[in-house]
Structure 1
Amino acid sequence: MTPPSNWWLPMVDPPLGVPTINLADYEYDTRLGWGSIGYVDRVRHKPTGRLYALKAVRIHDHQRCQNRVREYMALAPTLDYRSIVKCHGVQTERGYSRLLYDLMTSPLSGFQTHDMEILSHIADNILFGLQYLRKKNIVFKFLSPSNIFYDDADMAFKIGDVGAPKDLLFDLDCQPVPNVEAERYVAPELLSYMVRLSVEGVENWDVWSLGMCLLEFYLGKFPIDYDKRKDTKGVSLPFFMAGMPNPPRAPPEAWPPFRHFIELCLQRSPADRASVDQLLSHEFVLTFDFEHQEGKGKNEGDRLD
């Protein structure tokens, strides 16, 4: 009997009790994206014709990296909330673990608007998602425009990749070349102490990231002027951010409640940042009279057009 051609690749079995999928029930449609730890395909469920997003996470030889992938597979299908992209099940094969997600309309990468109602809608939905994760003792460290999605079916903004082992991006045993894109929205103290197990103010890492995302949506560009080819003399982005004298701020012409909201998020000291609960009570979020009910997002008639 001839062994399969990929017999040498590592494999991580799905954790017990986690819903699994039959990969043979899905056919490839198109590649949606790829990165340092894997890729995402749009697939069609053969029996129903429904489209999903199938994420493949590369499995490395190092045991610590395999443990992180196993934790991801155990966590993702348990998250069930309107502001979190739903994972329906997992499966593994040699070299990759695969997770089946609802297909979102679009990520917010490259999105720009000065419409304060839309920005408030985003903030409200994402804050409720972060609040839900806190109830499960989860702090999402890697919030960025690429994993904030708009779902046209629910008319809601959702967090994707919750539980994804992006810590691997900063672990040289798992990812030899750090992914600068993943570092851009991370709180400065996390960048400065990436190798540590914990730092003071861990609960506010995601608040910084949310502020960076919202400010980018307003500006239409990354909020920090960084060009390693010029004045930074090749210094990496984490060290550049850690050395910034002042965090970025919304421009003076922006709506004052939005400027104040961004300032509360982008405080260098974690202890000075507002909490998720405080931000949910902020004027920027409350002004547009969105429904603040468990499991609900903002106006059902709101759309990202």
Structure 2
Amino acid sequence: MAAANERKSRGLSLSLPRRDPVPQPLPLPPPSADNNNNNNNNSLLHRFRLPLIPAQGRIVSLDDLDLDRKSLLGAGSGGKVYKVVHRWTGRIYALKIIQEKHELDVRRQIMREMEILLRAKSPHLVECYGVFDRGGEVSFVLEFMDGGTLADVLKFHRTISERYLAEVTKQVLLGLLYLHKHKIVHRDIKPSNLLINRRQEVKIGDFGVSTVLAHTLAQCNSFVGTCAYMSPERFDPDGNGGEYGYAADIWSLGLTLLECAIGRFPCLQPGERPDWPTLMCAICLGDPPSPPPDASPEFRNFISCCLQKDAGRRPSAEMLLTHPFVKKSELQPCSVSTLLQGLVV
């Protein structure tokens, strides 16, 4: 109560309320009782064509056979990401490859990611230029972010100061605002899914576990994403009506920013294993983590707003864009590209 009164007295509280052989379209999952969007997916795939780009005075197709792999940018359970160069134009892209044969549920997830990537157009989201399927190996040609991820920056600098975090926060919130207005919950906001380039842009990437909500009031009820950044209502769906929604992304953003500020994952002590039971106890039963004592009142309040255990009390992305901590990025502008000095991707 005292903390709440202190925030109120300082005026920091918020009101709550993507030649030979020719690439083939992705195979659709067989019909099932719960695959209600099958017709929509068919329509999408029949409309899909290889993107065209200008090259040496003519228009050529962006084909993955014309992409030379230069380096491995990252790897995970979902596949690998390469830095590639288009032979005809010299343009650099990121090539995300989802390998191996896929189970029905995985194919549905790939289809979901394809649909989201093709229709999501925002300067605050990593752009998808093409999607290819060759022998069951699915590839996404993506915008190359030459500064890497926020996780790369954090590893290089150990911590990130508030003046930079304010600008990062503003751009990520604009990306979340776009997603949420289009009924998309990202479900995997974390440092490695926030990308930076040397044009001072921060963009949200990797929609592999995103979902398009059926309608404005629909909620998500599946366990996907990185559990370390999951909100309490995702760990304990029974205690929250079995549902979660856009507010889950706000919690994940709060944890991400706090991790950048203190240089370690905030819900666990150094050396503590990040297994499911430990994380569940820390996030569902423990108090939300707080910024260090020397953090600014604005940052402390912003993190407090994001890390409300009651999802209904978390402000929306639109509301958080008016928060004093975010407004600092306008009053004290800085170039996030400065964080990339000395960093090699």
Task: Please say which structure displays the higher CA radius of gyration.
Answer: 2
Counterpart Cα distance in 2 of 1:35 and 1:76:
19
Distance apart, 1:211 and its partner CA: 0.4
Q: Is the 8 A contact 2:236 2:284 kept in 1?
A: no
Task: Show the counterpart of 2:148.
Answer: 106
- TM-score calculated relative to the size of structure 2: 0.71
Give the secondary-structure state (helix, strand or coil) at the position aligned to 1:184.
Answer: helix
Counterpart Cα distance in 1 of 2:71 and 2:336:
29
1:304 aligns with 2:319: no
User: Quick check: 126-135 or 238-247, which moved more?
Assistant: 238-247
Identical positions, percent: 28
Match for 2:111 among 38, 46, 70?
Answer: 70
1:79 aligns with 2:89: no
Match for 2:203 among 158, 168, 173?
Answer: 158
Tell me the alpha carbon deviations over residues 227-271 of structure 1, each in whole angstroms, 9 at most, x when there is no partner: 7868x9x76344233443211111121011000000000111101
Distance apart, 1:197 and its partner CA: 11
Q: Is the 8 A contact 1:143 1:185 kept in 2?
A: yes
Gaps of 5+ in 1: 5-10, 168-177, 291-297
Tell me the alpha carbon deviations over residues 186-213 of structure 1, each in whole angstroms, 9 at most, x when there is no partner: 212113339x99615x120100011001
User: When the two structures are aligned, how many residues end up with a matched partner?
Assistant: 272
Match for 2:235 among 191, 197, 204?
Answer: 191
Q: Is the 8 A contact 1:188 1:241 kept in 2?
A: no
**Which amino acid letter does the alignment assign opposite residue 181 of structure 2?**
K
RMSD: 3.0
Give the secondary-structure state (helix, strand or coil) at the position aligned to 2:252.
Answer: helix
Counterpart Cα distance in 1 of 2:100 and 2:209:
11
Q: Is the 8 A contact 1:39 1:55 kept in 2?
A: yes
| Residues 43/189 of structure 1: CA separation in 2 closer, same or farther (3 Å cut) | same
Distance apart, 1:289 and its partner CA: 1.7
Counterpart Cα distance in 1 of 2:117 and 2:276:
35
Which is richer in helix? 2
1:125 aligns with 2:168: no
Tell me the alpha carbon deviations over residues 109-154 of structure 1, each in whole angstroms, 9 at most, x when there is no partner: 15144532211000000000000111211111110000101111x3
Counterpart Cα distance in 2 of 1:302 and 1:42:
22
- TM-score calculated relative to the size of structure 1: 0.80
Tell me the alpha carbon deviations over residues 5-44 of structure 1, each in whole angstroms, 9 at most, x when there is no partner: xxxxxx6378232343411111111111111111111111
Q: Is the 8 A contact 2:67 2:87 kept in 1?
A: yes
